[in-house]
């Protein structure tokens, strides 16, 4: 799709905070109707980029447009058509689900004649109609997250910024919420999604941008990113003991090849000639006294692509999920 049909265009977008270069001249576009993933560890510039795109801070350099509105000059026009879902809910515990949505409808300027019908439809769409009179404080985490997304849709935006939608949810609630997000695309909504869950991005996103230290290092479809590592060997080894404290020793046998610890007894090795990999691993096994249980060649995942592209372990992203850092968009 050409940039003429883009919901977001960023051209050399830059943000400085004093001497800190948080966003370093990034350029990308988001097509209308797609779910666009924006991934990176804490400190990579994700939050600063979103804050510029929703008008909470001005760029230090470069240009951006949202739904054809040039920023920052046209930000108030753009906000009519944009919804923002922060990673921490901005709804009120003492109000019911319905009261919260009606409050947001008034705040967004939804015509009074449409408020009740629009709110009831959202409550039904998100499976919350039977709890419409219950206070927000009584909701589960998954229900709170669903209502927060519904609140951002009450003015029928064309573009939704969705920040860490499933963080802290149990598996069933996360699965239900992912289904709701997929449904938004089917309705023609554009979604700009940040998440620390690489598997979630793989399931939901049409395209993904990976951001490291303020720069975009790759943009492609999930399958396109995984193809970057399909030409290389990916071999997973299971050991008969704990190797978590011996990765450094293993790495000395592997040389420039990359090893990633999956759990205390499993590792994944990327790239290189398979016979060389096996020689190195069995040499490590003999010297450490920890036997090899099994070895298998695997199909690359988005986590594998992330490691190859960034040089960072996917565990960096996992650690960031519960850190509480990088918050503040839209609160």
CA distance 45 to 38: 10
pLDDT digits (tens, 9 = 90+) for 37-69: 999 988 899 999 999 999 889 999 999 999 999
Lowest mean pLDDT among 21-25, 41-45, 148-152, 322-326: 322-326
How confident is residue 4, by pLDDT bands cut at 50, 70 and 90? low
pLDDT digits (tens, 9 = 90+) for 263-319: 999 999 987 788 889 999 999 999 999 999 999 988 888 888 888 888 776 666 655
Cβ distance 239 to 290 under 8 Å? yes
| β partners of residue 235 | 269, 297
The one-character DSSP state at 194 is: E
So what's the pLDDT on residue 330?
Answer: 41
CA distances from 231 to 223, 224, 279 (A): 13, 12, 20
Evaluate if residue 327 carries a pLDDT over 50: no
Lowest mean pLDDT among 118-132, 233-247, 266-280: 266-280
Mean pLDDT score across all residues of the chain: 89
So what's the pLDDT on residue 318?
Answer: 59
How confident is residue 321, by pLDDT bands cut at 50, 70 and 90? low
So what's the pLDDT on residue 101?
Answer: 97
Q: With H, G, I as helix, E, B as strand and everything else as coil, classify residue 82.
A: strand
Q: With H, G, I as helix, E, B as strand and everything else as coil, classify residue 316.
A: helix
β-pairing verdict for 292-297 and 266-270: unpaired
So what's the pLDDT on residue 229?
Answer: 74
How confident is residue 169, by pLDDT bands cut at 50, 70 and 90? confident
Say what percent of the chain tops pLDDT 90: 63
So what's the pLDDT on residue 228?
Answer: 79
Evaluate if residue 328 carries a pLDDT over 50: no
So what's the pLDDT on residue 193?
Answer: 96
Evaluate if residue 114 carries a pLDDT over 60: yes
How confident is residue 186, by pLDDT bands cut at 50, 70 and 90? confident
So what's the pLDDT on residue 324?
Answer: 46
Q: With H, G, I as helix, E, B as strand and everything else as coil, classify residue 187.
A: coil
So what's the pLDDT on residue 137?
Answer: 97
List CB contacts of 137: < 8 A, sequence separation 6 or more. 93, 94
Evaluate if residue 1 carries a pLDDT over 70: no
Angle between helices 314-321 and 302-310 (to 10 degrees): 110
Domains and CATH numbers, the chain: 3-221 (3.40.50.300), 227-319 (3.30.70.100)
Evaluate if residue 2 carries a pLDDT over 60: no
Note the residue count of the chain.
331
pLDDT digits (tens, 9 = 90+) for 203-235: 999 999 999 999 999 999 999 998 877 666 789
How confident is residue 3, by pLDDT bands cut at 50, 70 and 90? low
How confident is residue 326, by pLDDT bands cut at 50, 70 and 90? very low
What is the radius of gyration, based on Cα positions, of the chain?
23
Evaluate if residue 325 carries a pLDDT over 60: no
Cβ distance 164 to 141 under 8 Å? no
CA distance 276 to 280: 6
């Amino acid at each position: 799709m050409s940039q003429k049909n883009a919901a977001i265009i960023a051209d050399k977008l830059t943000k400085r905070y004093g001497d800190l270069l948080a966003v370093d001249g990034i350029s990308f576009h988001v097509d209308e109707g797609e779910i666009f993933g924006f991934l990176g560890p804490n400190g990579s510039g994700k939050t600063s980029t979103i804050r510029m795109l929703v008008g909470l801070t001005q760029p230090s350099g470069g240009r951006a447009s949202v739904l054809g509105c040039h920023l920052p000059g046209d930000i108030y026009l753009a906000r009519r058509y944009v919804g923002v879902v922060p990673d921490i809910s901005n709804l009120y515990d003492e109000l019911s689900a319905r009261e919260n949505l009606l409050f947001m409808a008034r705040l967004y300027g939804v015509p009074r004649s449409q408020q009740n019908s629009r709110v009831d439809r959202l409550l039904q769409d998100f499976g919350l109609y039977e709890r419409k009179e219950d206070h927000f404080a009584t909701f589960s985490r998954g229900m709170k997250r669903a209502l927060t997304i519904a609140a951002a849709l009450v003015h029928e935006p064309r573009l939704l910024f969705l920040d860490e939608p499933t963080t802290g949810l149990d598996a069933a609630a996360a699965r239900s919420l992912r289904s709701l997000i997929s449904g938004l695309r089917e309705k023609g909504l554009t979604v700009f999604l940040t998440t620390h869950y690489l598997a979630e991005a793989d399931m939901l996103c049409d395209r993904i941008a990976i951001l490291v230290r303020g720069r975009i290092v790759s943009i492609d479809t999930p399958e396109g990113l995984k193809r970057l590592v399909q030409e290389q060997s990916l071999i997973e080894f299971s050991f008969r003991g704990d190797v978590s404290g011996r990765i450094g020793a293993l790495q000395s046998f592997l040389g420039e090849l990359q090893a990633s610890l999956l759990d205390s007894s499993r590792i994944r090795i990327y790239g290189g000639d398979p016979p060389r990999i096996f020689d190195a691993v069995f040499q490590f096994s003999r010297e450490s006294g920890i036997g090899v249980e099994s070895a298998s060649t695997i199909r690359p995942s988005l986590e594998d692509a992330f490691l190859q592209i960034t040089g960072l372990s996917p565990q960096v992203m996992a650690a960031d999920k519960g850190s509480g850092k990088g918050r503040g968009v839209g609160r």
